[in-house]
Chains A and B, each alone.
Chain A
Amino acid sequence: MISRATIWADVRRNPALTALWALAAALVAYVFVTGGYLIAVLHFAAIYVVFVTGLNIFMGYAGQVSFGHNAFAAISGYTSAVLTATYGWEPLAAAAVGLCGALACALIVGYPTLRLRGHYLAMATLAIGLIVYEIAVQWQSMTQGYMGISGIPPLGIGRFTVTSDRALLVWLIGFAALSLLAAAGIRRSRLGRAFVAIAGSEDAARALGIDVARYKLVAFLISAFYAALAGSLFVHAVGFVSPEVYGLHMVVLAFTMLYVGGIGTIGGAALGALVVALLPETMRRFSEYQDLAYGAVLILILIYAPGGLAALSRLRPASRRKESA
């Protein structure tokens, strides 16, 4: 169930999904032209595409569970924020340090726990998420606690900076697209096959010579890298960071995107991020019922497309199977 290995090829054969993608592209184009508040929503969605695509490699491909990838986003995001806003570093250099810090943390957490089966890893990741959040709140001299850090410079290299909302959107979509391409490349390779094999049957994977503990760790590190990248992109896109940005809410949101889009599929992460980011906006007219309507839509998607939006093509065969059963 967890590792549903659909690949790009599905998109071509699948009109429903193609229509969904066309709609998404049209929407992005529309917002790009009209600008306004929705452009910030799309910034947010593009950053979450990066985050969720990484999470999908660990959870969708390799079939593991993590409640703590927000920690890696926080480590990298705060490193970026502190080094650029407080110490005047270049964004690129600061992000490089942040990414390395997040990977080091992922290695320290992942190495011992990924050797164990079952829920140890999920518990350990939950703990690391909470610990990093607490540190962000308590280490006031560095993070300024709940106040947060403002005045973070925009993305850029040297004198070239991304200042306009539209340019930022282009860059963020570029990052999202690269993330998706890399994830697709991984899925088609020997590495990605080892991941999905582990999700399918650890015993069979081992019997074929796959070092299960090692590949789980590799999947964990790759997904932590994605999370850290998203964390650094966020602080530069918004110009502000506070502990809430990387709180448990981030995990809930990412899980929703992953399951709505279709866990295990490559495009699903992108669709899920876009839909979940936009849903609250389209529900604004319901004012106080907004959250209720949002929840209802999510439940409907999960009932009628349990494999997520990316699995819409399988809707019909699935219901046929049910009838014959």
Chain B
Amino acid sequence: MTLLRLDAVTRRFGGLVAVDAVSLEIARGGVTAIIGPNGAGKTTLFNVISGFTAPTEGRVVFAGQDITGLAAEDIARRGLVRTFQLVQLFETLTVLENVKVGRHLHTKGGLVSALLPLRSRSIEAGVEQSARALLRQVGLEAQADMLAGVLPYGQKRLLEIARALAAEPKLLMLDEPAAGLDRGETTRLAALIRAIVKLGVTVLLIEHDMSFVMNIADRVAVLDFGKLIAQGTPTEVQRDKDVIAAYLGTMEAAHA
């Protein structure tokens, strides 16, 4: 069953066509990776799907509903939660508080419950419990009371994922989750993503690290100059002539 469908999605910036009529279906469950050379339009496509940029043309359908051009917070409310290529943590809050913010969509309460100590205490107990459980899952339990800003880079990435999971997404979109991680951290990240998929969350990610993609992705979509040039299983994509040309092409350009 299709969870996310893109119908001829196009995004232009002036004369530049960053995403060019991309049509793509992401099935429920599993890991789909979007790969492509630098500047292929991967992050723009992510921004269009998650509502941070409106598409110039085309439609985005998520869980059967048209979400084209909706605000990012409305899309998040429907269960599509993303992380960022440059980690966006609330750096002056503690690690635990970062995850608690992620519970926003699944808790209630405004000014009135904030001013009623007994009421807010019972809500807070639940938030605290689920936040700590998520920190345990990503292995940041010991860092719960540290400020997020002082974490080493790899742990910041894990925290961002934990915070996104706190929002209980149907579709989790990770923008280059392995960027800047060492080999050990990358292995742990792959295990974490596998565990997330087992919980029934569909994962869509952008990645540069090819061995990581081939290891973790069930399906791969390849972008080049904004166009979708191939999709399929990792092995199918690896054998695809257009994909080899795209990557060799950039290699030749690099040598030239």
Q: Which residues of A contact B (CB under 8 A)?
A: 1, 3-5, 182, 185-186, 188-194, 196-197, 199-201, 203-212, 218, 222, 264
Contacts and interface: CB of A to CB of B under 8 A. Distances in A.
A182 B116 CA distance: 9
Given A205-B101, A206-B72, A189 B124 contact: yes
B134 to A, nearest CB: 13
Contact of B88 (A5, A185, A196, A204): A204
B90 A188 contact: no
Contact of B76 (A188, A199, A201, A207): A207
Contacts of B52: 203, 206-207
B116 to A, nearest CB: 8
Interface stretch (B22-30, B104-112, B209-217): B104-112
Given A190-B107, A190-B114, A200-B90, A209 B76 contact: yes
28 contacts: A1-B92, A182-B115, A185-B115, A185-B116, A185-B117, A186-B111, A189-B109, A190-B103, A190-B104, A190-B108, A190-B113, A200-B89, A200-B90, A200-B92, A204-B88, A204-B89, A204-B90, A204-B163, A206-B72, A207-B76, A207-B81, A209-B73, A209-B76, A209-B104, A209-B105, A210-B73, A212-B73, A218-B110
B113 A193 contact: no
A216 B101 CA distance: 16
Interface residues of B, number: 43
Contacts of A209: 73, 76-77, 81, 104-105, 167
Interface of B: 50-52, 71-73, 76-77, 81-84, 88-93, 97, 100-105, 107-111, 113-117, 120, 123-124, 127, 163-164, 166-167
Contacts of A200: 89-93
Contacts of B76: 206-209
A200 B149 CA distance: 11
B115 to A, nearest CB: 5
A208 B124 contact: no
A288 B180 CA distance: 60
Contacts of B124: 188-189
Contacts of B163: 204, 208
